[in-house]
Chain A
Amino acid sequence: MIKTHHLAACALLASLLSFPVLADESAGMIKNSKGQVSIERDGKKMVGVVGTPVLVADRIRTGSDSAVGVTLRDNTLLSTGPNSLIVIEKFVFDSSTQDGKMSIGIRKGTLSVATGKIAKRTPESVDFHTPTSVLGVRGTEFVIEVGAGNDE
């Protein structure tokens, strides 16, 4: 079983590396937006307002006195405070089978998380990570802060 997962993970990694086009998969939507909120996608920067779709590989950035709230398709709630940068590195969710996986990076600032259906069903396929640490979750609400973080 573990071997299969490992192989599947390698296959997924290989496909992600060779087909960056997969990046335009829908992951969620902005539900709250305050101040300067932007989404960086394919090297372009757009304003993030309520209703803006969030795709796999998007970087979501807030300015000073700003905040953003995003609901992912599996009901995961993500929200950041000011001067924050998060990256939707991986998100796959099949709404029929409810199988999926996700990986979210926080590069700087503050992030609050309430996990959704993927974490409930297969917590091992969910991770959040900071520049130095990886968080594994088990049906969870938590907050993360990255102080002198990475701007990229």
Chain B
Amino acid sequence: MNNRNYALGLGAMLLLAGCASERVVLLPSADGYRSAVVVRDATGELLLDKPYAAASRRVGSNSAYQATPEEVQQRFGAALAAQPMRPNSYILYFEPGGNVLTPESQAVLARMQQEIVERAAAEVMVIGHTDRVGSEQGNDALSKKRAEAVRNLLIDAGVAAEKLEAVGRGERDPLVATEDEVDEPKNRRVEINLR
């Protein structure tokens, strides 16, 4: 290959490299947990496991590089700006054995109602939990009853019923691990996820 052809060939390769057709960039996670993405194609895989680690696809294969916050902003600013508001959780606690909220939780309920109004197209998932007093079946029913009680409170407060989903998880998912039959107030709760 003579020099001129070589220069042309190199130029063409640089041009191809310049119009990378695909790109993946790992971002720092909002909750601070370690995170990673594995990018696989027909020829192999790349692990991205540090903030701004990136894969760029040129001429048929993925290669790793380190992106910068500036590059991410320039290429992905519009997509990132459209990201929906982060989901948020509230926890409401109950007096023992029934579906009456503690006084503190009644105040939390009021704050939560405000957030439902402020969110764009808010959806609400109400998840009931119990302590370990009583049978599993009884607690399934009680957790569902608590979730539905909160769902009804929210409907009474003007939240549209179709935004609300109520589920009961019984004693399966305690906030504080206990022996069976322990009356643990922190486990008698309803978790509300707003998204």
Contacts and interface: CB of A to CB of B under 8 A. Distances in A.
A112 interface: yes
A74 to B, nearest CB: 9
Contact of A50 (B27, B77, B80, B120): B120
Interface string B26-47: 1111100111111111100000
B84 interface: yes
A interface: dominant SS? strand
B38 to A, nearest CB: 4
A122 interface: no
A133 B79 contact: no
B36 A144 contact: no
Interface string A74-85: 010101111010
B84 A32 contact: yes
Contacts of B37: 135-138, 140, 142
Interface in A53-96: 67-71, 75, 77, 79-82, 84, 95-96
Interface residues of A, number: 47
A112 B79 contact: yes
Given A114-B30, A144-B24, A50 B78 contact: no
Interface SS of chain B: mixed
Interface stretch (B107-115, B149-157, B165-173, B181-189): B165-173
B65 interface: no
Given A96-B168, A141-B28, A75 B22 contact: no
B167 A96 contact: yes
Given A140-B35, A142-B26, A147-B21, A50 B79 contact: no
Q: Which 5 A-B pairs have the closest CB atoms?
A: A81-B78, A67-B82, A31-B84, A81-B79, A51-B121
Interface of A: 29-32, 34, 50-51, 67-71, 75, 77, 79-82, 84, 95-96, 109-112, 114, 116, 130-149
11 contacts: A77-B84, A79-B84, A95-B125, A96-B167, A111-B79, A112-B83, A132-B42, A133-B22, A133-B57, A143-B80, A148-B21
